[in-house]
Each structure stands twice: as structure tokens, then as C-alpha cells.
Chain A
Amino acid sequence: GESVGLHLPTLSVQEGDNSIINCAYSNSASDYFIWYKQESGKGPQFIIDIRSNMDKRQGQRVTVLLNKTVKHLSLQIAATQPGDSAVYFCAELSMNSGYSTLTFGKGTMLLVSP
């Protein structure tokens, strides 16, 4: 079946750098995408979402870019901090008989060094 996946399993950066986490999806009918952050020992936490009628959406220090032509999603974190160290998942929300199903990508671990 169709799935959502990530390019890089681990990304190591220095504190203060900008981080970019990438995600490829294969379901061209998907119209809603979410980035989640999962810290060690915790559940996934919502970061930011984007709908397919948008190319870019900004939050606090985070930006999500959507390129529907190549079915690519990215999460940019500005001025990365040690507290940003976590596993990041992109997820695709699809509708099924009026209900939503969340399909997760494989996850990228972000390691931030002080």
C-alpha cells in the first residue's frame, strides 16, 4: 500500500544551527500532513500541520514546506536547541468513510549538541 517515509534516519546538528528534516509521501490524494515530535519516553506531540492547498506554513521557530509536485514535505527548525532533540515523524491523514486514518513515516532522530 501507499506509505509515508523519511530520507534521513538520524540528523546531528550543533546548537544554534538550522535543522531540516525531510519526508517523502506516495499518496498523491493526501491533503493534510502533520509533523510530530516524540521525546524519549513520551508520546508524539503535535508540532505543525499543513494542508495540501498550501506550500508553506510557519510556526514558532518551525516551518513546514510542502512540494506536491515531487510529493515531498520538510520541517525546518530555526536556531536548534538541545531541547529539540527527539524523533520527528511526518504523518499523512487520509479519510476513510468519513473517518481519518493517520499514517506515520519512519521517523528521524534529531540530535542537538550544545
Chain B
Amino acid sequence: DTAVSQTPKYLVTQMGNDKSIKCEQNLGHDTMYWYKQDSKKFLKIMFSYNNKELIINETVPNRFSPKSPDKAHLNLHINSLELGDSAVYFCASSHRPRQGGVQETQYFGPGTRLLVL
């Protein structure tokens, strides 16, 4: 009964390749996110989708393209991989904040460890 799942867990690839990471949540959330965690453990938001619509797009190279086929899935495709893309990528999900600005906790997947050689 995994809440937020990601595949693959590990991804080792050559520079210049194109790869995809998949994320699925079974929590019934309508908002999903991608975060990048660097070697110093710093976590930073990359994208946010609500009901398949892109909401947040931080300063991320356009080689990164998220795709949301439905609100339970948010995939991340990366073109022309570079050495600096090596990191751990986390998917997360939450309910959309409710009326009145009530915040909703985000739940994270186990991460995908990407190593670009």
C-alpha cells in the first residue's frame, strides 16, 4: 500500500542520453511535485502540477519536461543528460491548499538516484 512510488530507484546512464522517471501516488491527491536533492542534501522544488496542469516551474533547464497523464501520475523526462544532473529526484504529492489558505502537507516518494557518467 505504497503512498507515493517512484521508478526506477537507481538510474545510471551516459552523458547525452534521454531518460524518464515515473511517479505515482494513491493518496487521492490532486497536486504533485518534483524536487531535486543535491549531494549536500539540499532539496529544491522543480515543478508542481495540479490536476494535470503545470503550476510551478522553477528555474530548471528546458531539457527537463514533466508530464502528467492523470492526476495520480507525474513523470519527469530529461533530455541530453549532463553530469550536473546527477542527484536524487523526489516526487511528492498533496491536496491543493483549501479555501482560506489552509496548508496541506506534502508526502514524498522514496527518490530516484540518478548518476550521469
Which segment of B13-21, B70-78, B108-116 sits at the interface? B108-116
Q: Is A68 an interface residue (CB 8 A)?
A: no
Whether the pair B90, A43 counts as a contact (CB closer than 8 A) is yes
- A101-B105 contact, Cβ under 8 Å, with A44-B43, A87-B41, A107-B41: no
Q: How far is the CB of A4 from chain B (nearest CB, A)?
A: 11
Residues of the A chain whose Cβ atoms lie less than 8 Å from the Cβ of B33? 102
Q: Tell me if B25 counts as interface (CB < 8 A to partner A).
A: no
Q: Which of A36, A42, A97, A99 contacts B110 (CB 8 A)?
A: A42
A89 lies within 8 A of chain B by Cβ: yes
The docked-state distance in angstroms from the alpha carbon of A17 to that of B104 is 32
Which residues from chain A contact B48 at a C-beta distance below 8 Å? 99, 101
A92 to B45, CA, bound (A): 12
Contact A99–B96 (Cβ < 8 Å): yes
Asked whether any CB of chain B lies closer than 8 Å to the CB of A54, the reply is: no
Instruction: Give chain B residues whose Cβ lies under 8 Å from the Cβ of A93.
Output: 103
What is the size, in residues, of chain B's interface with A at 8 Å between Cβ atoms? Answer: 28
Q: Please determine whether B103 and A100 come into contact, CB atoms closer than 8 angstroms.
A: yes
A95 proximal to B (CB < 8 A): yes
> CB within 8 Å of B: which of A2-61?
31-32, 34, 36, 38, 41-46, 49, 51
Nearest CB of B to A25, in Å: 15
CA distance A103 to B42 in the complex (A): 10
Question: Once the chains bind, are A101 and B56 in contact (CB under 8 Å)?
Answer: yes
If A32-B103, A43-B109 touch, whether A100 touches B97 (CB-CB below 8 Å) is yes
> Are B45 and A101 in touch, CB under 8 angstroms?
yes
Chain B residues with CB under 8 Å of A100's CB are 31, 94, 97, 103-104, 106
B103: chain A residues within 8 A (beta carbon): 31-32, 49, 51, 93, 95, 100
Give every chain B residue within 8 A of A97 (Cβ-Cβ): 55
Q: List 13 A-B contacts (CB under 8 A).
A: A43-B4, A43-B108, A43-B110, A44-B90, A46-B107, A95-B101, A95-B103, A99-B97, A100-B94, A101-B45, A102-B45, A102-B106, A106-B42
Q: What residues make up the interface of B, taking CB atoms closer than 8 Å to A?
A: 4, 31, 33, 40-45, 48, 50, 55-56, 90, 92, 94, 96-97, 101, 103-111
